[in-house]
Every structure is written in C-alpha cells, then in structure tokens.
C-alpha cells in the first residue's frame, strides 16, 4: 500500500500563513506593503469588513445587474513584512492548495456565503517603492469567465446578498485551525466554489465536486479508520451478515479485504457527525426535506455519485433543475396536482422567497419519458450546496473548539 503524502505545516495555505505572520509580528508589523484584488460574482456585497488582521474587504457599489457577473468586492491584503514584495507580478500558487493567496480567500468566502466568487487578480499595489496611495498595476489581471443560466431561467444556485462584516468569520475560523486542517478547509472550499461556478453549465460535475468537498474533509478527519469500523460504517448489512456467519472474529478476519469501502465509511461517518441544524427559514412541507432522514438522503446522493463516477450514469434530470420558490408551490393545489398554478392573489408570508429544498413529487414525471421517485431526486442542487457548506463549517468550528487539528476522536 502506498503511504499517503504528508503535508507539512510549512506548506499550509498562503492566507493562513499571512495571518500567522501578522500575529507573530505584533507591534512591529509593517503596514506599507500589500495589494488590492478584485473579486467577481453575480451576487451583491454590502458594507465593509473593517481591518481584521492583514485583510480588509470593501463592497463595490451599486453592484451588478441581475444575472450578470461583475466586480463586487475589493480585497486589500497587507503584508506583515514591509520589506517583502507586495503580491508582485510573478508569484506561484500555494503548494498545499494549488491556489494563489487571493484565490484561497475567494474560495473561503464562497464557502462562508454560498456565493460564486472568483478573483481577477490584483489591480493596485502598495509599498515603499510605490505611491503612498497605491500604484495601479493590473499585470496579469483577468476577469473570470462565467456562463450563467439560459435566458429566462433561474440559476441552479441562487445568488445572495453578502454581508462583508460577517463574511470575515471564515477567516477568523481558519486561524484557529492548525496548518493541516487549514489546508483541508481551503481545498474543500475550492471544490465548493468550483461547483457553484459551473452549476448552470454542468450540473452533474457540480454534484460531484460538492461530494468531493465533503470527502476532502472526511479524509482528513478520519485519517486511519480501523478495518472493522470501515465495514460497519460503510455497509452495516454486510457487517451483520458476516457476524451472523462466524461472529465478530469472522468479521475481523474478513474486514481487511474490504478496505475499498473506506471512502464510503469516511463520508457516511463525517456527515453523521456534523449534520447541521434545520434551516431557520423553510418552505411549506411539500417542499421540505425530511431532516430526521438527512443521513439516509446523503447516502443516496453518494450512491448516485458513485454510479456517475464509475459507470457514467447521469444524475436524475430533476436534480439539475433550478429551484422553485415557496410562493410558487403555494399557488398549486396539494401534492399530486399537475395542473396550472392558481392565479389568485396570495397573502404574503415571510418565507415566500425561500427556495424549495426538494422537488415536489408532483413534478417528478420526467420530460424524457422517465419517472423518478423521491429517493432518486431527494433535493435540489441549491439545497445540497447549502448543506455541504453547513457540514464543512460545522466541522471547522468543532475543530477550532477542540484545538485546531480537526481529527476524529476515537470511541
């Protein structure tokens, strides 16, 4: 068996390292070296973060027309060492994440907010050799390309309004992790952000990337599961059959031959451990997922992922649909009605604009002569992306509370 590569603390994410350097510099830290970066999205940003450590975030007002990509945030990152090159033109991605400093931050902001966010690079630099107000410098700047939904369609992942003061919470959390856990969080965040970015052009790949984000964190959290635990977690029915055939000793003897189930075991255990609380604002019951059954739903999605990854089977078509809103399902008759929505005026409710969490059963008759069940299409991609983000953030908060390593505690 090939040994898993070890990621040293010295190869932690660049954004984590710059915060650590800032803290270690103390009163002697410099403030004259750095750069400003443009972050692009189809969402909107409000306010500013103020100065928290080496990073400040400012909204670009008034924002973009609905459905279009544009600059929404200016991120100023200052270097704690004024003698260092201020994010100068020639830089290399972090060896631990494969991302540049500013793109690590953009991915983390995507994880925190659920918005599609990418950087176009720096456009202004600060330093002793530059103008005190900063020198324009767009060397290598490139606005990212994004293909949104078709004309008249709602995005698969709904845009949002970003509170920049709250958005920096993810950076606070990152600094409470050790270097290995921070690397894992940034890697997972990158997969989440990429899934959000391509959701309207390749929904199947978006599903795969979101599941990969959970697997990334799960592999760090449960580094070396014992063989018997793997079988019991990944396939409880198989484990019971083996016990029935020859007792626990037989299970222990056979389990080492079933280590191909390790990935499944990690995924299931990770989701079960960090299942988030129900959303504060939810749609009417026909559009709600069964929260008590969430672990089973995640397992079903993982099965669909495996069928797609190893057999090329597409995800059920309804999983790629844009989400309906609660007010839209309120205009229909009870579950099972397939006629046109009611046109009668509705009294407004606080959750009218809340997206449905799952596809109503009445809408699961396929446009491609197939019919899907609730088990085949348990939720919208919009819902799953939010759940994935909540699971990852719950794990990271737990890791900080336990000292920053983010590892599973046995027993």
Q: Are strands 34-41 and 118-126 parallel, antiparallel or unpaired?
A: antiparallel
Each residue's pLDDT tens digit, 53-71 = 788 899 987 767 777 899 9
What's the rounded mean pLDDT across residues 326-343?
Answer: 55
Distance of alpha carbon 395 from alpha carbon 411, whole angstroms:
18
Predicted confidence band at 253 (pLDDT cuts at 50, 70, 90)?
low
**Tokens (6 digits) for 162:** 């970003």
> 384 exposed, middle or buried (CB, 10 Å; 0-12, 13-18, 19+)?
buried
> 162 exposed, middle or buried (CB, 10 Å; 0-12, 13-18, 19+)?
buried
**Tokens (6 digits) for 94:** 């972090």
What's the rounded mean pLDDT across residues 36-51?
Answer: 85
Residues above pLDDT 70, as percent of the chain: 74
Maximum average pLDDT range among 247-256, 296-305, 360-369, 378-387: 378-387
Q: What angle do CA 347, 348, 354 make, to 5 degrees?
A: 135
Task: Flag whether pLDDT at 135 surpasses 70.
Answer: yes
Task: Flag whether pLDDT at 11 surpasses 60.
Answer: yes
Among candidate residues 93, 136, 99, the one with its CA nearest the CA of residue 117: 99
Mention every residue, 6+ apart, whose C-beta is less than 8 A from residue 58: 48, 49, 73, 74, 75, 76, 164
User: What pLDDT, on a 0 to 100 scale, did the predictor assign at position 343?
Assistant: 45
Task: Flag whether pLDDT at 338 surpasses 50.
Answer: no
What's the rounded mean pLDDT across residues 351-359?
Answer: 85
Write out the DSSP string of 150-174.
PTTPPPSS---EEEHHHHTHHHHHH
Task: Flag whether pLDDT at 20 surpasses 60.
Answer: yes
Kindly report the pTM of this predicted structure: 0.85
Helices 294-311 and 381-401, axial angle in degrees (round to 10): 110
User: What pLDDT, on a 0 to 100 scale, did the predictor assign at position 2?
Assistant: 44
The DSSP H or E segment spanning 120 is: strand 118-126
Contact 114, 155 (CB under 8 A): no
Task: Please give the residue that has the higher pLDDT: either 332 or 329.
Answer: 329
Distance of alpha carbon 141 from alpha carbon 274, whole angstroms:
39
Each residue's pLDDT tens digit, 396-411 = 999 999 898 888 866 4
**Tokens (6 digits) for 29:** 């830290």
User: What pLDDT, on a 0 to 100 scale, did the predictor assign at position 141?
Assistant: 86
For residue 96, is it left (φ>0), alpha (ψ between -120 and 50) or beta? alpha
Mean pLDDT of the chain: 80
User: What pLDDT, on a 0 to 100 scale, did the predictor assign at position 223?
Assistant: 73
User: What pLDDT, on a 0 to 100 scale, did the predictor assign at position 330?
Assistant: 63
């Amino acid at each position: 068996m090939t040994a898993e590569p070890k990621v040293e603390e010295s190869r932690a994410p660049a954004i984590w390292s710059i915060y650590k350097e800032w803290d270690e510099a103390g009163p002697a830290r410099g403030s004259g070296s750095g750069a400003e970066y443009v972050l692009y999205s189809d969402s909107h940003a409000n306010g500013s973060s103020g100065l928290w450590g080496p990073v400040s975030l400012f909204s670009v007002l008034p924002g973009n027309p609905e459905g279009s990509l544009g600059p929404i945030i200016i991120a100023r990152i200052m270097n704690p060492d004024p003698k260092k090159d201020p994010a100068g033109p020639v830089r290399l991605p972090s060896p631990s994440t494969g991302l540049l400093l500013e793109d690590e931050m953009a991915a983390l902001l995507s994880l925190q907010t659920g918005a599609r966010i990418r950087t176009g690079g720096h456009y202004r630099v600060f330093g002793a050799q530059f103008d005190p107000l900063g020198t324009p410098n767009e060397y290598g700047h490139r606005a990212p390309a994004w293909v949104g939904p078709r004309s008249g369609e709602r995005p698969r992942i709904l845009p949002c309004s970003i509170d920049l003061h709250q958005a920096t919470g993810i950076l606070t959390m990152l600094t409470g992790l050790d270097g290995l856990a921070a690397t894992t969080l940034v890697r997972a965040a990158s997969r989440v952000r990429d899934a959000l970015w391509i959701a309207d052009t390749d929904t199947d790949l978006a599903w795969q990337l979101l599941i990969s984000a959970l697997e990334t964190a799960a592999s760090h959290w449960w580094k070396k599961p014992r063989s018997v635990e793997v079988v019991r977690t990944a396939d409880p029915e198989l484990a019971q059959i083996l016990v029935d055939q020859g007792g626990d000793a037989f299970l222990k003897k056979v389990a080492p031959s079933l280590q191909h189930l390790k990935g499944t075991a990690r995924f299931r255990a990770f989701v079960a451990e960090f299942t988030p609380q129900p959303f504060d604002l939810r749609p009417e019951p026909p559009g709600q997922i069964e929260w008590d059954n969430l672990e089973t739903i995640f397992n079903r999605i993982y099965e669909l992922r495996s069928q797609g990854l190893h057999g090329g089977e597409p995800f059920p078509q309804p999983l790629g649909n844009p989400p309906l809103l609660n007010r839209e399902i309120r205009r229909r008759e009870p579950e099972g009605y397939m006629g046109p929505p009611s046109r009668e005026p509705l009294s407004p409710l606080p959750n009218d604009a809340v997206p449905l969490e799952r596809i109503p059963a009445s809408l699961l008759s396929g446009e491609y002569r197939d019919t899907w069940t609730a088990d085949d299409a348990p939720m919208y991609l919009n819902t799953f992306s939010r759940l994935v983000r909540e699971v990852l953030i719950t794990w990271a908060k737990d890791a900080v509370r336990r000292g920053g390593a983010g590892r599973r505690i046995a027993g």
